[in-house]
């Protein structure tokens, strides 16, 4: 049984003439404790797969399962789902409520998930993400980008999920802050035995974080490769080779 | 020979409720017909440096400098009307995201034609001729069709190439590119850079390339200024960027994950308050 299971998943937007097939016949599974990356250019469908899983993109076909439990169609998910799957979004400037303090954000999440011991949990979550209780009563505008992303991670960890979906978690951050956040995610994964599904356009970041990587092009998964293959630049598919070449840097032509 | 651009002791200040914020603090550099990279994190003052050369900082922001000379003429002494003669015609600027820099309700052709006719005298048909030529120069296939298209019908890469075409059509002496490829995919990025590179070389233009991407700047530019907290902390030849000495530059380079070398943990930059205090380095 895999942590995440995708079988023949297609996702589309719109109907009839306006229909866009964002993902076509995607198949992959992510094992427990594994870190799996999705890469591709913008519009290749990598984020859409995550959005379909979480119910943010309701039109999909095929089969998806989380820890062996099939995911129902439509956009509603039960509490069990959210207890095991949580998501961290790209832009911490957009994903936090500007008029709620860190304390409000975390206590609301904990309350919704039926926890009683909210007080000590908030303290522990803030410690976990390296912020400490000094940040508890701050508002998002009083935090830097990296600190905000830490709050977003704390919120995702609040229901004690086993799977974290990371949608470009560091692309809005400076490289020095990116290093801190990636290190934090690595630590949290080891500590809480988390499974990661990570989307990024930065191949070096994905190589650093993931053991297996799926390459997407125009809605299709063209290749699933191990990180060693990727580092050795020996992928099978020509598109992957092109993508790797481009990410190695600019060469004067 | 006078350099193309000389900037001496440039300061950019913003009054805030808690006192004056110095965004750029005493930056000096000169530029020939070469590619100069300015790198740094967000808030380091790199974009403000680029904008202040065109005097595009709006009040209450204040720009002061001993001089900003273009071909020996001091831009700081010019009136706003005279500056309009400089902007676009002699110095132009490409911004990060074509979505926000192109006019959404005007066809690409009309925008290009306007850009040429504002600065040059000539008929509409001549302007059209130039616009088509420029679109070909930035590797747009089927320029006739693209001339009729509106910005929403274009991809990000195409939009950015059109921005570059529009900025180059009046044949400026200096191009300031502020993160011109950050909104683009890696594969498109290389293409846009190649086009910029070729045009700059063919026309003998100067280029200021502002970016947060150290590797890109190292590959693409001739010389690099590294900015931190409004100051230039280090300057070097671009191909020697990886041998940079300043702990800030080293820290930035080391914090990047690398495809060719797996690391267990990424190095985290430890900031030293003294970096912000030392005066700007003056490039030789």
Asked if the Cβ–Cβ distance from A231 to B259 is below 8 Å, we say yes
What is the rounded average pLDDT of the residues A31-44? 91
What is the rounded average pLDDT of the residues A2-27? 91
Q: Which residues pair with B207 in a beta bridge?
A: B35, B175
Neighbours of A252 (CB within 10 A): 10
From B16's Cα to the closest Cα of chain A, the distance in A is 16
A146 domain-assigned: yes
**3-state secondary structure labels for all residues of chain B:** CCCCEEEEEEEEEEEECCEEEEEEEEEEEEECCCEEEEECCCCCCHHHHHHHHCCCCCCCCEEECCEEEECCEEHHHCCHHHHHHHECCCEEEECCCHHHHCCCCCCHHHHHHHHHHHHCCCCHHHHHHHHHHHHHHCCCCCHHHHHHCCHHHCCHHHHHHHHHHHHHCCCCCEEEEECCCCCCCHHHHHHHHHHHHHHHHHHCCEEEEEECCHHHHHHHCCEEEEEECCEEEEEEEHHHHHHCCCHHHHHHHHCCCCCCCCCCCCCCCCCCHHHHHCCCCCCC
Phi, psi of B119 (to 5 degrees): -105, -25
Q: What pLDDT was estimated at residue B237?
A: 92
The structure tokens 């030392």 sit at B278
CA dihedral in degrees (A29, A32, A35, A41; nearest 10)? 20
A252 domain-assigned: no
What is the rounded average pLDDT of the residues A209-225? 94
Nearest to A250 among B214, B219, B262 (CB): B219
> How many angstroms separate the CA atoms of A222 and A214, rounded?
8
> How many angstroms separate the CA atoms of B260 and A248, rounded?
9
| Whether residue A61 has pLDDT greater than 90 | yes
Helix (H) or strand (E) holding A40: strand A35-40
A21 domain-assigned: yes
CA dihedral in degrees (A75, A76, A81, A83; nearest 10)? 110
Domain that holds residue A81: 4-247
Q: What pLDDT was estimated at residue B198?
A: 85
What is the rounded average pLDDT of the residues A114-126? 93
Alpha helices in A158-231 (DSSP H): 175-192, 203-209, 227-231
**pLDDT above 70 coverage of chain A, percent:** 98
pLDDT < 50 regions, chain B: none
Q: How many angstroms separate the Cα of A10 from the Cα of each of A46, A124, A248, B246?
A: 12, 39, 31, 50
Phi, psi of A168 (to 5 degrees): 45, 55
| Whether residue A66 has pLDDT greater than 90 | yes
Q: Which of B160, B181, B186 to mutate to test the interface with A (most CBs of A within 10 A)?
A: B186
Nearest-CA neighbor of B245 among B275, B220, B266? B275
Q: Based on the structure, what is the number of domains in chain A?
A: 1
Q: How many angstroms separate the Cα of B234 from the Cα of each of A177, A180, A228, B73, B219?
A: 21, 24, 36, 27, 17
Between A and B, how many residue pairs show a Cβ–Cβ distance under 8 A? 86
pLDDT band with cut points at 50, 70 and 90 for residue A188 = very high
Q: What pLDDT was estimated at residue B140?
A: 83
Tens of pLDDT, residues B236-259? 998 888 888 899 999 988 888 888
Phi/psi region, residue A202 (left: phi>0; alpha: psi -120 to 50; beta: rest), is beta
- Which CATH number covers residue A46? 3.40.50.300
For B:40-99, CB contacts with A below 8 A are: 41-42
Q: Cβ(B131)–Cβ(B169) under 8 Å?
A: yes
Residue A139, classed as helix, strand or coil, is coil
> How many angstroms separate the CA atoms of B27 and B233, rounded?
10
Q: What is the mean pLDDT of chain A?
A: 91
A253 domain-assigned: no
Closest residue in B to A248 (Cα) is B259
For chain A, state the CA radius of gyration.
18
Nearest-CA neighbor of B34 among B5, B77, B76? B5
> What is the domain partition of chain B in residue ranges?
100-171
| Whether residue A253 has pLDDT greater than 60 | no
Q: What pLDDT was estimated at residue B284?
A: 59
Q: Which of A144, A171, A229, A250 to mutate to test the interface with B (most CBs of B within 10 A)?
A: A250
Nearest to A248 among B255, B257, B259 (CB): B259
From A70's Cα to the closest Cα of chain B, the distance in A is 34
Neighbours of A177 (CB within 10 A): 22
CB-count burial class (<10 Å; 0-12, 13-18, 19+) for B122: exposed
Residue A199, classed as helix, strand or coil, is strand
Q: What pLDDT was estimated at residue A251?
A: 67
Nearest-CA neighbor of B102 among B142, B53, B151? B151
Asked if the Cβ–Cβ distance from A182 to B262 is below 8 Å, we say no
> How many angstroms separate the CA atoms of A133 and A124, rounded?
9
Tens of pLDDT, residues B57-67? 888 899 999 99
* Chain A residues inside the 8 Å CB shell of B257: 179, 182, 204-205, 207-208
Q: Cβ(A239)–Cβ(A245) under 8 Å?
A: no
Nearest to B219 among A183, A201, A249 (CB): A249
- Kindly state the greatest CA–CA separation across chain A: 63
Q: What pLDDT was estimated at residue A252?
A: 59
- Identify whether B60 is preceded by a cis peptide bond (ω within 30 of 0): yes
> How many angstroms separate the CA atoms of A228 and B261, rounded?
11
Query: What ipTM does this complex have?
Result: 0.78
In sequence order, which residues have a C-beta less than 8 Å from that of residue B189 and are 6 or more positions away? A246, A250, B181, B216
Query: What does the DSSP 8-state code read for residue A47?
Result: H
Tens of pLDDT, residues A124-177? 999 999 888 889 999 998 888 889 999 999 999 999 999 999 999 988 888 888
Number of Cα atoms under 13 Å in the Cβ half of residue A165: 23
Neighbours of B229 (CB within 10 A): 20
């Amino acid at each position: 049984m895999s942590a995440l299971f995708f079988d023949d998943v297609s996702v589309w937007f719109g109907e009839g003439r306006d229909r866009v097939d964002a993902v076509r016949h995607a198949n992959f599974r992510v094992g427990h404790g594994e870190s799996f990356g999705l890469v591709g250019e913008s519009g290749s469908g990598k984020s859409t797969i995550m959005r379909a899983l979480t119910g943010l993109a309701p039109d999909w076909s095929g089969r998806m399962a989380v820890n062996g439990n099939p995911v129902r169609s439509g956009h509603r998910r039960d509490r069990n789902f959210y207890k095991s799957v949580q998501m961290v979004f790209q832009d911490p400037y957009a994903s936090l409520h500007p008029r709620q303090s860190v304390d409000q954000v975390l206590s609301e999440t904990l309350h919704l998930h039926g926890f009683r011991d909210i007080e000590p949990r908030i303290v522990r979550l803030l410690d976990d993400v390296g912020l400490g209780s000094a940040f508890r009563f701050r508002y998002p505008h009083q935090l830097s980008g990296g600190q905000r992303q830490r709050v977003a991670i704390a919120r995702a960890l609040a229901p004690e999920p086993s799977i974290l979906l990371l949608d470009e978690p560091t692309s809005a951050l400076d490289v020095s802050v990116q290093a801190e956040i990636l290190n934090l995610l690595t630590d949290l994964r080891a500590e809480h035995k988390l499974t990661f599904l990570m989307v990024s356009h930065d191949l070096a970041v994905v190589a650093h974080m993931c053991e297996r990587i799926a390459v997407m092009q125009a809605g299709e998964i063209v290749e699933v490769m191990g990180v060693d293959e990727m580092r050795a630049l020996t992928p099978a598919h020509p598109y992957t080779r092109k993508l790797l070449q481009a990410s190695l840097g600019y060469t004067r032509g | 020979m006078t350099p193309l651009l000389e900037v001496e002791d440039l300061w950019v200040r913003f009054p805030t409720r808690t006192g004056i914020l110095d965004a750029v603090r005493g930056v000096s550099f000169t530029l020939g017909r070469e590619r100069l990279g300015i790198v740094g994190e967000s808030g380091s003052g790199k974009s403000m440096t680029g904008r202040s050369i065109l005097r595009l900082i709006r009040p209450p922001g204040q720009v002061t400098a001993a001089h900003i000379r273009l071909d020996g003429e001091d831009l700081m002494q010019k009136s706003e009307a005279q500056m309009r003669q400089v902007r676009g015609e002699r110095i132009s600027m490409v911004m990060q995201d074509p979505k926000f820099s192109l006019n959404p309700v005007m066809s690409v052709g009309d925008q290009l034609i306007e850009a040429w006719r504002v600065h040059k005298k000539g008929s509409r048909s001549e302007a059209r001729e130039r616009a088509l030529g420029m679109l070909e120069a930035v590797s747009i296939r089927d320029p006739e069709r693209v001339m009729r298209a509106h910005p929403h019908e274009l991809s990000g890469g195409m939009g950015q190439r059109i921005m570059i075409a529009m900025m180059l059509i009046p044949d400026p002496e200096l191009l300031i590119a502020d993160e011109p490829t950050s909104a683009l995919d890696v594969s498109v990025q290389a293409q846009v850079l190649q086009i910029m590179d070729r045009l700059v070389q063919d026309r003998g233009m100067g280029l200021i390339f502002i970016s947060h991407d150290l590797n890109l700047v190292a590959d693409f530019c001739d010389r690099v200024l590294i900015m931190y907290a409004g100051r230039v902390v280090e300057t070097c030849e671009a191909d020697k960027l990886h041998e940079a000495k300043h702990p800030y530059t080293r820290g930035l380079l080391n914090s990047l994950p690398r495809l060719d070398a797996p690391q267990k943990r990424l190095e985290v930059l430890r900031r030293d308050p003294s970096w912000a205090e030392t005066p700007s380095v003056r490039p030789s």
